[in-house]
Amino acid sequence: MPNSNGHGMIEPGSTIGILGGGQLGRMIALAAAPMGYRCHIFCPEQDSPASEVAALTTVAAYDDQAALEAFAKAVDVVTFEFENIPAATVEFLERHVKVRPGSRALRVSQNRLEEKNFLNDVGVPTTAYAGAASAASLEAAVRHIGMPCLVKTVTEGYDGKGQVRVDATTNLAAAWEQLKAREAIVERMIDFDMECSVIVARGMDGTCVAFAPGENYHLNGILDTTLVPARLPEARQQQAEAIGRHVAEKLELVGLLCVELFVTKDGRFLANEIAPRPHNSGHWTIDACTTSQFEQLVRAICGLPLGAVDRMANAEMKNLIGEDVAQWRKAVADPNAKLHLYGKREVRPGRKMGHVTRLLPLNNGRSS
């Protein structure tokens, strides 16, 4: 195994392959460039946000084996920027090139049932849940979990898509039709005090560091705002960080992991989901930390030592969703705000167009 003496290190000048061409890939490429790495994007879309700032792009389908083979030959290590990349694509690439994190973490995060089974198996509690594979089994699962509950597609849901809230007035047969899924998960609805998330980086030598947890607010199922640090007592912040490190260690992950947590009214952490990639709730780290989540990913997958996660400021990150992008003028007029736009030409409702991070004093009344 490569270790801290540099053996197995992927050195500056090498090429990092990124599966996916979205804003996360863009920000990985932007973090890789100052350290002398080149990025090669593989995605099915022309003119993606990531390819605009990367050295090379392959535009091909995720199941195009000839294109994947050529991509594997052209890069020194591969990572992915969203978890709906087909696991078969990552497994194919793993036979040709180092992929970090690997297909195991990806598979767990792609399937809400496997994800919750895994979390509970490693001692991280979640809400009560049950699987359903037909309208009839949905009825049984809802009876078992109790109402109100959420029914989510097991695969491919994100940003609140593929979810139905179920209460006594819901027609379950219609809800099943609406989901258009082969398999669903029924989750007990949590009446939470707060949603927060913790992002950890784990290096090739097993070193694991956590950024301060962020407090998250969603609008229409999409992340709207992240406040850092989360307004939790110091000991609770550390507990959240420990959960993140524990999950990354159990996955033996090399790279980044986000664990989304609910804080229940009785003060417990329940995990919602995990993402083995940079996370929207960690964008504040670009402007407020010694090392951003994106730089940590580059360091981890290239076998470099991880950087410090110290916070130089508290932060409030606000997503610019759809028409919110017009707020860029207000953002650039605020001397303490940092504007990030993703280069997406077409504005669509619900589309993440950019974000703004406002830097706040470290001792601004919150526990830090």
Point out which residues bind ligand AMP (CB under 6 A): 127, 150, 157, 160, 187, 189-190, 195, 218, 221, 272-273
Distance in Å, CB of 6 to ligand AMP, minimum: 39
DSSP symbols for 48-91: -TTGGGSSEEEE--TT-HHHHHHHHHH-SEEEESSTTS-HHHHH
Contact 77, 37 (CB under 8 A): no
What is the C-alpha separation between 276 and 83, in angstroms, rounded?
8
CA distance 17 to 62: 13
Q: Which one, 85 or 261, has the nearer CB to ligand AMP?
A: 261
- Report, in Å, the least distance between residue 66 CB and ligand AMP: 35
Helix segments in the chain, DSSP class H? 23-32, 65-74, 87-94, 103-110, 112-121, 135-145, 172-179, 234-251, 285-288, 293-301, 328-333
Q: Least CB distance from residue 23 to ligand AMP, whole Å?
A: 18
Considering the complex, what minimum distance in angstroms separates the CB of residue 258 from ligand AMP? Answer: 11
**What's the N-to-C CA distance of the chain in angstroms?**
37
Looking at the Cβ atoms of 74 and 189, the one nearer to ligand AMP is 189
Least Cβ distance, residue 77 to ligand AMP (angstroms): 29
**Closer residue to ligand AMP, CB minimum distance, 146 or 305:** 146
Least distance in angstroms from the C-beta of 227 to ligand AMP: 15
Residue 195 vs 316, nearer CB to ligand AMP: 195
CA pair distance 130, 141, nearest whole angstrom: 6
C-alpha 327/C-alpha 225 separation (Å) is 15
The tokens describing 295, both together, are 């730089």
Cβ atoms of residues 50 and 43 within 8 Å:
yes
If the CB atoms of residues 63 and 156 are measured against ligand AMP, the closer one turns out to be 156
Residue identified by tokens 């804003």 is 23
Nearer to ligand AMP, 37 or 118 (CB): 118
